[in-house]
Structure 1
């Protein structure tokens, strides 16, 4: 191949590189940035930052914790839903727990999703002076799950239980199982024996209509959800009002101002922005 041909090919390749670099590395990013600065888009493009007296306090699109140095919820603030992102609402560790509806048996080093939900429900109920009981949960915040052992029928169901174990209630911490008997057999606490060959039975219990909403006890897929349901916000009204010396109606009015409806009137569910409510509460009680 002639030297001149090689030179032309390399010059063409260099020109292509320079043109594509200019288009994809300069022109296109500049165009996207310019469009993002249009009225109505700029705030979102800049991160939807919320400022108070010129100081950034967070983003309306990313949740954050409202806790003290020991991780305890601050009673004067609306609390968000649980987060599994890092230590909670860490944008650099956005994630979910990856636990699904079949996660009902605790392991030695990790609680099941059911027990997490049960424990959170009791904690939310205690914080807000509400009943934290919910279906398939024991009174001490564990998953109400039995391992039933005995002869089985053709479908694999135990017909005559010979032994029943409350799998999520260790004998070391439980004096009495959540259920005394099941199908005529006495229920025992979990003494560490192998119960994997038993039939797992989740017991619904009497708390079929829990006061604590689902979003108060379950984390979002991203771990960064900035919103909660109106039902969870309403559950917290009396606590926040008492902590700030406000009336419940004042708190409800602020919540209503920070509530968005369904997108286009039919997509999704109404949502309350936690940061927006807490910023407005601070401005009201500080006289701002």
Structure 2
């Protein structure tokens, strides 16, 4: 008995679904899983986990913070670069800040709200102020000049809203340091003969022209770029050799060893350029800190 064509078509489709399910849903995943467990591939496939004894302390391909319960850097450890993934190095929220070079004006929070509450006070920092505040903090931690171009001495973006008599031109009638909330003292006293004001919550400064002010910071800051900017994924496990070198003196002092001893471990945990020419040398922070603990234990 010949089956109707619509039934044979459905049976053919069902057979195709079953075959493809077995091939692509069962056999292929099993084959890939088996292949990646071969020596040389196994560690990466399993997350490149790093263990101390029987305890898993992290992954060599995922960064982590080395801070105390209050978020303060632990002085005996090398510090990772900043992270925009969640609250920092959150693998469930891997991301960048998505802020670009034009992000220079902060959003001031409502002083009537608690900035530490669950909802916050509505404030947010522009990328420029994030970079400035991080550079200031790293400079203080490492005992170097943390100043950068276009940053105020208090670690904010040095940005004015300048109002002109004819809109976008003419004489300056008003200048506001938009990232410095009152009663802060503006980073410069006057701009083209007009006294610079601090910023007040609720005032509309959109009619002014945004003017970043370079200041007198050195063109080549002491604090490297990767110490003040997050990676695209927010999970970068490495820092630059320059940032590692900046931290050597603090580590040596905290652990009571010489800077040469610390630099030797930095060199040991530094990887070169891929294929000899791609990228830059990098230092794996977790592996370096574990090497420090095993070689020169910290006794507090």
Taking structure 2 as the reference length, the TM-score comes to 0.88
> What residue number does 2:61 align with?
61
Instruction: Specify which of 279, 285, 288 is matched with residue 290 of structure 2.
Output: 279
- CA spacing shift, 1:47–1:191, aligned 2, 3 Å: closer
* Deviation, structure 1 residue 58: 0.6
Deviation at 1:88, TM superposition (A): 0.8
Unaligned ranges ≥5, structure 2? 109-122
State yes or no: 1:187 paired with 2:196: yes
Equivalent of 1:206 in 216, 222, 238: 216
Aligned partner (choices 177, 187, 194) of residue 186 of structure 2? 177
Aligned positions of 1:131-210 closer than 5 A: 131-151=145-165, 156=168, 158-172=169-183, 174=184, 176-192=185-201, 193-207=203-217, 208-210=219-221
Q: What corresponds to 1:246 in structure 2?
A: 257
Q: Counterparts of 1:24-103 in structure 2 under 5 Å?
A: 24-103=24-103
Question: Do the aligned partners of residues 20 and 179 (structure 1) sit closer, same or farther apart at CA in structure 2, a change above 3 Å counting?
Answer: same
Task: Determine the C-alpha separation between the residues in 2 that align with 1:159 and 1:184.
Answer: 13
1:258 alignment partner in structure 2: 269
Give SS of 1:224's match.
coil
**Deviation, structure 1 residue 225:** 0.7
**What residue number does 1:104 align with?**
104
Alignment partners' CA distance in 2, 1:8 and 1:190: 76
After TM superposition, the structure 1 stretch with the greater mean CA deviation from structure 2, 179-188 or 261-270, is 179-188
Looking at structure 2, the residues matched to 20 and 171 of structure 1 have their Cα atoms a distance apart, in angstroms, of 66
Question: Root-mean-square deviation (CA), in Å?
Answer: 2.0
Shift of 1:187: 1.7
Unaligned runs of 5+ in 1: none
Q: CA deviation at 1:9?
A: 4.4
Shift of residue 185, structure 1, vs aligned partner: 2.3
SS at match of 1:123: helix
Alpha carbons of 1:167 and 1:9: their partners in 2 closer, same or farther (altered >3 Å)?
A: closer
1:243: Cα distance to partner? 1.1
How many Å separate the matches in 2 of 1:24 and 1:159? 70
Q: Find the partner of 2:236 among 225, 233, 236.
A: 225
Residue 177 (structure 1) shift = 1.2
Normalised by the size of structure 1, how large is the TM-score? Answer: 0.91
Is 2:255–2:297's contact at 8 Å kept on the other side of the alignment?
A: no
How far is 1:13 from its partner?
3.5
Per-residue deviation, residues 8-37 of structure 1 (Å, max 9, x unmatched): 545433432332122112221122122212
Q: Following TM superposition, by how much is the alpha carbon of 1:95 offset from its aligned partner in structure 2, in angstroms?
A: 1.2
Provide the rounded CA distance (Å) in 2 between the counterparts of 1:286 and 1:162: 61
